[in-house]
Amino acid sequence: MSDEIRTTAELAESEALPRQFEVHAKGCGESGDKPLPDAITRKPVQQKSPAEWAHERLILYIQDFEKQLDNEHEVAMGFAGNETGVLRIEGLGYFDPDIVTFYGTDAAGGRMQLIQHVSQLNVALRALPIPKAENPPRRIGFQLAAELEQAE
């Protein structure tokens, strides 16, 4: 028996089968059940750390958000409750068992890294104009998903 104490919500979440379901207003995204990539369902949720499981789901959300962007915008994340502003997402990682990290740049081009415990995870995805119109937008969600497939 483990000495770990878990809340009812944590227990229910760990026993849930991986599933993504969404409802959107007409024209604002795809509604319904979404099939999950093999890279996410291959390993049972019970065998994943909270950080790994959060990391994989964040990749899906970023990828879905990027599908809605035009060629003049790319994904960034906003911060609530402080003057930090936004982080243009250029990388995403995790540190087992419970840390998720975001890498990128701020609006002025300065390097940023957000290190966050999974229990405090709040991510507001935002569309920002690409820094230079002649550059194509980066689609970090698709790059992260491809790397997740290769890791398995």
* Rounded Cα–Cα distance for residues 69 and 29 (Å): 11
Does residue 91 contact residue 135 with C-beta atoms inside 8 Å?
A: no
135 against 105, higher pLDDT: 105
* Rounded Cα–Cα distance for residues 11 and 8 (Å): 5
pLDDT tens for 50-95 read 999 999 989 988 988 998 899 999 999 988 767 778 899 999 999 9
Determine the pLDDT at residue 11.
63
Determine the pLDDT at residue 111.
92
Q: What average pLDDT does this structure show over 3-24?
A: 68
Confidence of residue 97 (pLDDT cuts 50, 70, 90): very high
User: What one-character-per-residue DSSP string does 51-117 give?
Assistant: HHHHHHHHHHHHHHHHHT--TTEEEEEE-SSSS--EEEEEEEEEETTTEEEEEEE-TTS-EEEEEEE
| Cβ-Cβ contacts under 8 Å for 27 (sequence gap 6 or more) | none
Q: What is the largest CA-CA distance in the chain?
A: 59
Q: What percent of the chain has pLDDT over 90?
A: 33
Q: Most confidently modeled of 23-32, 46-55, 130-139? A: 46-55
Residue 24 has pLDDT above 80, yes or no: no
pTM above 0.85, yes or no: no
Determine the pLDDT at residue 96.
94
Does residue 79 contact residue 127 with C-beta atoms inside 8 Å?
A: no
Q: How far is residue 86 from each of residues 1, 6, 14, 108, 151, measured CA to CA in Å?
A: 44, 33, 31, 10, 29
